[in-house]
Structure 1
Amino acid sequence: MTSNDSTASNWSAFAAAQPALATTVEERFAAFTHHTLATLRKDGSPRTSGLEVRFLDGELWLGMMPDSVKALDLRRDPRFALQANPGAGTEMAGGDVRIAGRAVEVTDPATVARYVGEVKPPEPFHLFRTELTEVVRISNEDDRYLVVESWQPGRELRTVKRT
């Protein structure tokens, strides 16, 4: 995130602004290994792919196999949407969690080495850090309300209850 860009935020800035929501989001992603990433194809149509994510050093990281179509999509157009695996059945304990933003490829050898030291991914790989533009959690409250929590950088958390 550049210092003059108020439309995106890294994970640590989001977590500082909304610690309870950030904890819930991390727990939802930690509940399962594989999640769904949406990227944009050359023609602008959406592509969904499976993906593992990591929260390390105040960042949300996306790692990908070399020259995978999702990595090539993000190199061409960095916009993405990420949805936590809802799990089996319809329970979705912790709610339905989604993150949107831009992915920035990281090639700095020291940063890549730190990531490799923590995650130990198969190499070679593409590494992207994320700049968040939106975090959304949808959950049920007392089986009476659908609760939508939506956060965007520079704005207050918006919570809507629907019956």
Structure 2
Amino acid sequence: MSLLMRHDGAVTTSWHDFETAQPAFAETVTTRFAAFRHHVLATLRADGAPRTSGIETNFKLGELWLGSMPGARKADDLRRDPRFALSANPGPGTGMGGGDVRIAGFARWVDDPATMARFADAVSPPEPFDLFRVELTEVVRTTVDEAAGEIILTTWRPGHPALRVQRRS
């Protein structure tokens, strides 16, 4: 696994490395995101306040990508401060299979024409677009085992095994 250590101490890795390290967990996460087209992205405004926005995600070419229309506030936020949190669309009601899935990390703005062309060939996004490649810091899945009366939290961070915690609900 290729781990990147940032100057602020955060450890990040690519989606591909997460898939390699935790294939079953990664499959659960991609399936959960594939269930709906739109998800919720949290970014940081210039004044440090949180901003939530709708977003579409793409798991292609071994990466997790976030795309945006140029000039969108979320894109401006990410270009200024790449920290983000991403929640899969919860769907109708609370019975969505797969549980609640969240990803956190850093969104790296892509300005390389060759990378943007490969992405456009794979996804056919509306153009023009801003593109961000995700560096993961955390993946979390929360489910409920109603029969056992437990909440189950599975958390993964780069360089560590997945941790599963069960709590009485």
Aligned pair 1:132/2:131, yes or no? no
RMSD over equivalenced CA pairs, Å: 1.3
CA–CA distance in structure 1, aligned partners of residues 118 and 105 of structure 2: 23
| Amino acid across the alignment from 2:54 | G
Q: What are the Cα deviations for residues 11-69 of structure 1, in whole angstroms up to 9, with x where unaligned?
A: 01011111111000000000000000000001111000000000011100000001100
Q: Please list every run of at least 4 consecutive aligned residues from structure 1 whose deviation after the TM superposition is greater than 4 angstroms.
A: none
Aligned pair 1:93/2:102, yes or no? no
Ranges in structure 2 where 5+ consecutive residues have no aligned partner = none
After TM superposition, the structure 1 = structure 2 runs for residues 40-59 of structure 1, keeping only pairs within 5 Å, are 40-59=44-63
Q: What are the Cα deviations for residues 44-97 of structure 1, in whole angstroms up to 9, with x where unaligned?
A: 110000000000111000000011000000000000000000100111210100
After TM superposition, the structure 1 = structure 2 runs for residues 21-100 of structure 1, keeping only pairs within 5 Å, are 21-100=25-104
CA–CA distance in structure 2, aligned partners of residues 120 and 16 of structure 1: 26
Find the counterpart in structure 2 of residue 151 from structure 1: 156
CA–CA distance in structure 1, aligned partners of residues 70 and 53 of structure 2: 15
SS in 1 for 2:16: helix
TM-score by length of 2: 0.92
Ranges in structure 1 where 5+ consecutive residues have no aligned partner = none
Q: 1:105 aligns with which of 109, 113, 129?
A: 109
TM-score by length of 1: 0.96
Q: Percent identity?
A: 58
